[in-house]
Structure 1
């Protein structure tokens, strides 16, 4: 069975953003996302793997037997776009996506070029819905206010 690559690390989040984000706008948006997700979760940001900033954590186990730990919410300031790990396939999430703004959808994340392209209240709704979904579907999810 494949080993999970995205594991918690002790790397410094602020140092990561300052060294990894390749433009001033990407750095500014990264620090704004830190604030948004920290306010929603009440959790300190932590590095997961070499490039994902996560908030909170939960344990998952698939029917295949694959299991691991993951952040409840997260993002990565990738070169071409931010990867936002805030989506759960629920009706409320689908409604929030309709008003999110300019983005692309991946299998497990939402890609956004810059924060000014999206509706922040819709992003916050996606975050809250994702937290609710994880809390309801994963017995080992951490408690987030």
Structure 2
């Protein structure tokens, strides 16, 4: 099996944000950092070259592939910010409908700026995601 490319590193989160974020993105990144630290009780850590992650969990898929990933985190992707979430439950799906202007992939929530999102709903989504992952993977 191939080794996972995305793993925790000692790279500087501040340097990553300074080098990638446009003005408003930088402000939003710092606000996200405060929220994610509050919800996970963990400090930010770079995962690979471009994910700011919080906490971690170990997983093993039915295929046998296993690894470690952050409980939640975010990345700067061009003009978008991406928040990594588990939104499998009906409750999580219902929250997405009230979140605001975003696009959702399998586990990637894309948005332009935090001002486009309902902050209360966002906090509930992140907390629900952390709970889902901890229940699923321990």
- Give CA deviations for 1:31-55 in whole Å, capped at 9, x if unaligned: 1110111111110000001000000
Query: Where does residue 78 of structure 1 map in the other structure?
Result: 77
- The 5 Å alignment of 1:1-145 reads 1-21=1-21, 23-139=22-138
Q: TM-score, normalised by structure 1?
A: 0.91
Mapped partners of 2:123, 2:34: distance in 1:
11
1:4 positional shift: 1.4
Q: TM-score, normalised by structure 2?
A: 0.96
Mapped partners of 2:79, 2:66: distance in 1:
30
- Give CA deviations for 1:36-87 in whole Å, capped at 9, x if unaligned: 1111111000000100000000000000001100000100021131111023
- Give CA deviations for 1:105-130 in whole Å, capped at 9, x if unaligned: 11221101111111111111111111
Which has the larger helix fraction? 2
Q: How many residues align?
A: 138
Q: RMSD value over aligned CA atoms?
A: 1.0
The runs of at least 4 aligned residues of structure 1 exceeding 6 Å deviation read: none
Mapped partners of 1:71, 1:38: distance in 2:
12
Mapped partners of 2:89, 2:3: distance in 1:
28
Structure 2 spans left out of the alignment, 5+ residues: none
Structure 1 spans left out of the alignment, 5+ residues: 140-145
